[in-house]
Chain A
Amino acid sequence: NAGVTQTPKFRILKIGQSMTLQCTQDMNHNYMYWYRQDPGMGLKLIYYSVGAGITDKGEVPNGYNVSRSTTEDFPLRLELAAPSQTSVYFCASIPTRTGRNSPLHFGNGTRLTVT
């Protein structure tokens, strides 16, 4: 199993451009998450999904959109990139069948710079 795979690893965007951060997992996990990590701020939840076709907002959803058409994929869309979206983005998933003590499985992150 590859686990959680994120692409691209790095990206530089100009203000106002759009892009999609890709996330796919091959573990058949139902729950998937998008976090952003900023220095000294820890991880903030952007969006999460409890299964195909179901998504919900986290703490910092503004400026982002998500979709979940399959169990495996959970892409994050930035429509109008802003400098405040410069961050490292992590996708994660959990195997909900094992209950609430399930740890998150993380991808290796996408480092995004908006200039």
Chain B
Amino acid sequence: AQSVTQPDIHITVSEGASLELRCNYSYGATPYLFWYVQSPGQGLQLLLKYFSGDTLVQGIKGFEAEFKRSQSSFNLRKPSVHWSDAAEYFCAVGPSGTYKYIFGTGTRLKVLA
């Protein structure tokens, strides 16, 4: 069965520190992978996506993610976190069948000043 796992429910980092959010997936074919960010009271905004080619993808707001097929992972990274990065982050895979996307349960990021 297709699934996405985000093992960290909450992460707290200090401003200026590096960040890595984990995402593992289970998918029968070549996956299309996405990271979204959700600020409080807002919808989800696309940070970056991977569907082929270079396994290191760059996104908006200084984020990047690396696709590792051998580990079935698509971890999100940022070298230096800003207070405005505090939000909830969702990893997603898809689409399967008739364009259905599967979301992880999210990681809530807290940034300490």
Contact = CB atoms under 8 A, between A and B. Distances in A.
Interface of A: 4, 31, 33, 35, 40-43, 45, 48, 50, 56, 58, 90, 92, 94, 96, 100-101, 103-104, 106-109
Given A43-B44, A104-B36, A109-B41, 6 more contacts: A41-B105, A42-B104, A58-B100, A103-B34, A104-B44, A109-B43
A94 to B, nearest CB: 7
A35 B104 CA distance: 13
- 3 tightest CB-CB pairs across the interface, nearest first? A106-B43, A101-B51, A42-B105
Nearest to B42: A108
A108 B43 contact: yes
Nearest to A90: B43
Interface string B27-51: 0000010101000011111100101
Contacts of B92: 104
A67 to B, nearest CB: 18
Contacts of A109: 41-43
A41 B98 CA distance: 22
Contacts, number: 60
Contact of B99 (A42, A43, A94): A94
Secondary structure type dominating chain A contacts: strand
11 contacts: A48-B99, A50-B98, A90-B44, A100-B32, A100-B99, A101-B51, A103-B36, A103-B49, A104-B34, A104-B36, A106-B44
B100 A48 contact: yes
B25 interface: no
Given A100-B51, A101-B51, A50 B43 contact: no
A43 B49 contact: no
Contacts of B106: 40, 42
